[in-house]
Amino acid sequence: MDERAQELDERAQDLDAREAHVHERESRINTQAQRVEARAANLREREQRAEQREEVIRRWETELEDREEALAIRLAELDSHQGEASEIYEESELYDDSELYDQPYMYEDSNSDAVVDQLRSLDIANNTSSSRSTLHNAPHLTPQASTTEDHRQYVVRGSPVVNGVVDTWATAGNATLPYVNAVARRTTPRRRFIRAPANFFAIIRGARVGVFEAKWRDVEILVDTVPGAIFKGYGSRGAATLDYFIACDLRIVSIRQPTRGPGALGLPDTPQSIVPTQPTPNQIAETIASTSIPANAAWYAVFRGIRTGVFPFW
C-alpha cells in the first residue's frame, strides 16, 4: 500500500509539472498570436496609408502637369502679344512680293513650287481690293473659321503659308508640318475633365493585352517600361471592351516585353484579361453594334498615320 501511495504521489507530481508546462506553452503561444495579429493590423494600416498617399501623389502629379501645360500656353500667349508689332514689320520685309516671286523658298520640301503658285493665285485674287497679298495681313486676322467643333487656336510662325493666330489644328498642321522650322503653339487652354476612378483597363500594346478589371497599381507592371505601350483606363467594362475590340479589328494589338524593372524578370499570375484576347469577327461586330460610345468620350482626328480618319478611342 505504501508503494502504491508513493507511486501515485510521483504521478501526481509529474502531472502537475506537465500541466504547468502546458500552461506556460499556452501563455507563450497566446502572446505570440497577439503580437502577430498586432503586426498584421499594423501592416494593413501601413498599406492603407501607402495607398492613400499614392493616390494623393498621383492627383498632385496630374495637377502639376495641368499647371505646366497652362504655363506653356500662357508663355505662348505672352510671346505672341510681345512680338505682334515687330512681326508685322518682319513679315512685310520677309514676304515682299518682288522677293516672293523672284526667289524660291529655302525649304526642304518637294511642294515648294506648288506653294509659290498658290501664293501667286492668292495675290492675283486680292489685287482688286488691295495690292498686298494675304501674307501681309495682321497676325490676328485668321483664315476663314472652320465649321467643325474644333475651336482651338494656334500661333503659327515660320510658315510660308500663313503666320499669326489661326483656328483649328487642321489649319495649323497644314501650315507647319510640311515645312522645316515652321512651328505652331496652341493658345487655347485645354478643358479640364473630372476623371472618375478607372476600374477597367484596355491594354492594346503591353506585356499582357486585353481588358483587365483591376486598379492601376496592379496593371502598371504590364505596361511600365514596355516600348510604345498603348493603354487606357475606363470606368465601365463596356467602354474598355469596345476600345480593345476595335483595336483588334484594326489589327494593332501586340504583346511586347518590358525592357527593365520587375516586369522584365517575370509577370505575376494576375490580373488576367476578362474578355477574349483574340475575339472572333462575330464577337467584334456584336460588341461594336451593342455597345454605345460614352457621351463624354474624346474623339481623335488622324491626319497622318497608319490609318487616317476619326476615332473615338486613343
Cell numbers linked to 269: 499570375
Inter-residue contact 73 to 153 (CB < 8 Å): no
Q: What local confidence, expressed as pLDDT, does residue 70 receive?
A: 66
DSSP H helical ranges for the chain: 2-82, 84-94, 97-102, 112-126, 169-176, 216-223, 237-250, 262-265, 281-290
φ, ψ at 191 (rounded to 5°): -75, 135
The number of angstroms, rounded, from the C-alpha of 157 to the middle of its chain's C-alpha atoms is: 28
Asked if residues 156 and 166 have their Cβ atoms less than 8 Å apart, the reply is yes
The pLDDT score that the predictor gives to residue 136 is: 37
Angle, helix 281-290 to helix 237-250, in steps of 10 degrees:
130
Residue the block writes with cell 486613343: 314
Overall residue count recorded for the chain in this entry: 314
Residue 139 DSSP label:
T
C-alpha dihedral (260, 261, 267, 273), degrees to nearest 10: -90
Q: At what angle do helices 2-82 and 216-223 cross, to 10 degrees?
A: 70
What pLDDT was estimated at residue 300? 84
Biggest alpha carbon–alpha carbon distance for the chain: 143
164 within 8 A of 142, measured Cβ to Cβ = yes
The tens place of each residue's pLDDT in the chain, 314 residues long, gives 778 888 888 888 889 888 988 989 999 999 999 999 899 889 988 988 888 888 888 888 888 877 776 676 566 555 444 444 333 333 333 333 333 333 333 333 334 344 334 434 444 344 433 333 333 343 443 444 444 467 889 999 999 999 999 998 889 989 999 898 899 999 888 766 555 668 899 999 999 999 999 988 888 889 888 888 899 888 889 999 999 999 999 899 999 988 877 766 788 888 999 999 999 999 999 998 998 887 777 788 888 887 788 887 77
Contact present, 133 and 126 (Cβ < 8 Å) = yes
Cα distances from 138 to residues 73, 92, 101, in angstroms, run 21, 10, 21
pLDDT at 124: 37
Rounded CA gap, 310 and 51, in Å?
38
Three-state DSSP state, 271: coil
CA distance 276 to 209: 10
Tell me the pTM.
Answer: 0.42
pLDDT at 274: 94
3-state SS assignment for residue 196: coil
Torsion angles phi and psi, residue 167, rounded to 5: -95, 145
